Structure 1
Amino acid sequence: MSNILEQAKTVLTIEAEAVTALIPRINGQFSAAIDMIIACQGRVVVTGMGKSGIIGRKLNATLASTGTPSLFLHPAEGIHGDLGMVTASDVVIAISNSGETSELLAILPSIKRIGAPIIAFCGRDQSTLAKHADVVLDISVEKEACPLGLAPTASTTATLAMGDALAIALLSARKFRPEDFAVFHPGGALGRKLLLTVEAVMHQGEDNPLITLDKTVKEALFVITEKGLGATTVVDGGKLVGLITDGDIRRGLEKGHEFLDKPVASLMTKMPRTITPDRLAAEALRIMENNKPRPVTVLPVVDKEFQAIGMIHLTDLLRQGVV
């Protein structure tokens, strides 16, 4: 077993060294690739066979989700008609460690005829692919992590890392924002955190618990019970001036029930933390969690004039998957 564990560690060491060796290769050719893609009026077409194709599909997905329109072209399908998806306005990223993959080389003349520039991810600068490419990104490795020297391991890891470097450099060049990322991920938890606003989940209208400043604590308790959110905002002329929670009332009852007839001003938290309806629901969660001296489960929602227009509860965020 110890030999097996040592072998596993060796694999990781070799692959880590392969990635580190890429750093000096972030040079003029890499900059040229960035400039070429930024200037592209069409899409980035990623192509590769076998393991290179698998890495290419991942690169395609990363590019597409970070602001660079992209698609994957299988070389074998390309020679049977799928080359029709490539235009002169596109940029082709061709991946082959050897630079001599037959299926890939078979489509190069057609790509050249179409007029799309080629960025090669290649491990041999004198290969056929490298010679036909406009830009060559060196993904060569000293050796594979496979002890037989057969299975692509370090080379695919290096290719993956170079692809990530390219995609993230493009993301930065395009000034891609989290909000932009969320547009391409609307169905996932990340999309919900980056797109869902307070207005979309807050309780408003008849569901918004409100009580005026001239009412008693007992009347506030009735409102809290009726609305079922565990709290009510206190307003004066529609503007928020305080918040009473069921926790406040429970703590008051420990001292006797006489306080129930006192005005709400005697018990309420004055000027509590609030949020506006245009803010992200994720920000509401952060405010709840960071509230001092203790986290809260409700947050009043106010407009620009500080009118109390709604309330958001922690369970609303849980249902929406924000938490």
Structure 2
Amino acid sequence: MTSPDVSAQTPADRDLASARRTLSVEIDGLVALRDGLNGEFARAVAILAAISGRVIVSGMGKSGHIGCKIAATLASTGTPSFFVHPAEASHGDLGMITRDDAVIALSNSGETPELADIIAYCRRFSIPLIAITSRGGSTLAQSADCALILPGFTEACPNGLAPTTSTTLTLALGDALAVALLERIGFSAQDFKVFHPGGKLGKKLQRVADLMHGPDSLPLCQPDTPMSEALMVMTGKSFGCTGVVDEAGLLVGVITDGDLRRHMNDNLVRSRAADIMTRAPKHVPPMMVAAEALRLMNDGKVTGLFVVDEGRPVGFLHVHDLLRAGVA
């Protein structure tokens, strides 16, 4: 089989080929990382879950940039964390690390000299130290309480010099730690909203109760209400529907514009609400995430839903409320 004629390739072809080689090399590294996880990873999670303080992440150069992201991910998912620059640590920032904390130190070689003072400080004050490095026999790995060793890999850089695969693996391992801790402590979507109040994500995590119209706005009638009166309730509240509640105040049906069209005849106004209503209507609980309520509306092809708590309507959510709040 003959090799492709490289000279015939355009610059764009070569760029795409280079990108695919880079991603393939890094994917191979990630697969090896996944397959090589063992009890040492579980021990690292246990150490981090047991502390009463913060997780301090430190690293130099590219490892430092990755460390900043790992610390940010931990902090945003329920594990208090921040980054300490190893050079600054040697000039006073060691005071930011307490005996209640744990340290994650990142170094591909495991011999980064700037980490020496942090390593010594952790050993002196019995602060748990977790290493992420590619060399199990390195100073960092041997000094740590728990060493997460990256698998054998090839840097995607054709010269084998620029940190590429190594930083990808370190970042992925940090994500794995953060998610494992998130699941261990039961960090919920509502907890996530507390730490992400701004932006599109914060809006999507709003609850139905935050956006719904309250009890005073509800269009409601009884099953034996004449349709002439039920129509007045519908038009008076401008939701395009009315809920039907029994004597106990439980929602037993709903009358929509669609129900009216299906029963449009001379007997409509002489009918009772129970004759026209759709029974067992779809509804949502007040603590449902607003984005989930929007999905239910889209799936059911409806523009509004009653909000029900223990069988009783407590609010009404319209798709326009979701649009105004930026959920859609």
Question: TM-score under structure 2 normalisation?
Answer: 0.84
Confirm or deny that 1:219 pairs with 2:225: no
Structure-2 separation of matches of 1:270 and 1:240 = 9
Code of the residue aligned with 2:257 in structure 1: it is: D
- Residue 274 of structure 2: aligned partner: 265
- Residue 103 of structure 1: aligned partner: 114
* 1:41-74 Cα deviation digits (max 9, x unpaired): 2211100111101111111122222332211101
Q: CA RMSD in A?
A: 2.7
Q: Cα offset for 1:207? A: 1.5
- Residue 59 of structure 1: aligned partner: 70
Structure-2 separation of matches of 1:64 and 1:297 = 37
* 1:197-251 Cα deviation digits (max 9, x unpaired): x333322343211233444334333322221111111334344343222233345
4+ aligned runs moved over 4 Å, structure 1? 188-195, 250-253
Q: Cα offset for 1:272? A: 1.9
Asked whether the 8 Å contact 2:36–2:151 carries over to 1, the reply is no
Asked whether the 8 Å contact 1:224–1:230 carries over to 2, the reply is yes
Confirm or deny that 1:200 pairs with 2:206: no
Code of the residue aligned with 1:301 in structure 2: it is: V
Q: Secondary structure at the match of 2:94?
A: helix
Asked whether the 8 Å contact 2:89–2:117 carries over to 1, the reply is no
Match of 1:298 among 304, 307, 313: 304
Code of the residue aligned with 1:230 in structure 2: it is: G
* 1:101-148 Cα deviation digits (max 9, x unpaired): 232224433333333222111122333323332222112543211112
- Residue 288 of structure 1: aligned partner: 297
Confirm or deny that 1:38 pairs with 2:49: yes
Cα gap change, 1:146/1:43 in structure 2, threshold over 3 Å: closer, same or farther?
same
Cα gap change, 1:259/1:125 in structure 2, threshold over 3 Å: closer, same or farther?
closer
Which stretch has the larger CA shift, 215-224 or 130-139? 215-224
Q: Secondary structure at the match of 2:302?
A: coil
- In the TM superposition, 1:131-280 aligns within 5 A as 131-139=142-150, 141-194=152-205, 196=207, 198-237=208-247, 238-253=249-264, 255=265, 259-280=268-289
Q: Cα offset for 1:8? A: 1.6
Cα gap change, 1:259/1:64 in structure 2, threshold over 3 Å: closer, same or farther?
same
Q: Which runs of 5+ in 1 are unaligned?
A: none
- Residue 47 of structure 1: aligned partner: 58
Asked whether the 8 Å contact 2:222–2:246 carries over to 1, the reply is yes
Cα gap change, 1:94/1:279 in structure 2, threshold over 3 Å: closer, same or farther?
closer
Code of the residue aligned with 1:310 in structure 2: it is: G
Structure-2 separation of matches of 1:185 and 1:127 = 39
Match of 1:118 among 116, 122, 129: 129
Match of 2:316 among 308, 311, 316: 311
Which stretch has the larger CA shift, 241-250 or 48-57? 241-250
Cα gap change, 1:182/1:147 in structure 2, threshold over 3 Å: closer, same or farther?
same
Q: Secondary structure at the match of 1:315?
A: helix
Q: Cα offset for 1:190? A: 4.4
Q: Secondary structure at the match of 2:154?
A: coil
Structure-2 separation of matches of 1:81 and 1:220 = 73
Q: Cα offset for 1:319? A: 2.5
Q: Cα offset for 1:171? A: 2.8
Tell me how many residue pairs correspond in the alignment.
316
Cα gap change, 1:279/1:258 in structure 2, threshold over 3 Å: closer, same or farther?
same
Confirm or deny that 1:320 pairs with 2:289: no
* 1:148-196 Cα deviation digits (max 9, x unpaired): 2221111111111222222223333334444443443343544555551
Cα gap change, 1:140/1:317 in structure 2, threshold over 3 Å: closer, same or farther?
same
- Residue 20 of structure 1: aligned partner: 31
Structure-1 separation of matches of 2:79 and 2:60 = 22
Which stretch has the larger CA shift, 224-233 or 21-30? 21-30
Which stretch has the larger CA shift, 50-59 or 206-215? 206-215
Q: Secondary structure at the match of 2:283?
A: coil
Q: Cα offset for 1:280? A: 4.2
Structure-1 separation of matches of 2:136 and 2:34 = 17
Code of the residue aligned with 2:324 in structure 1: it is: R
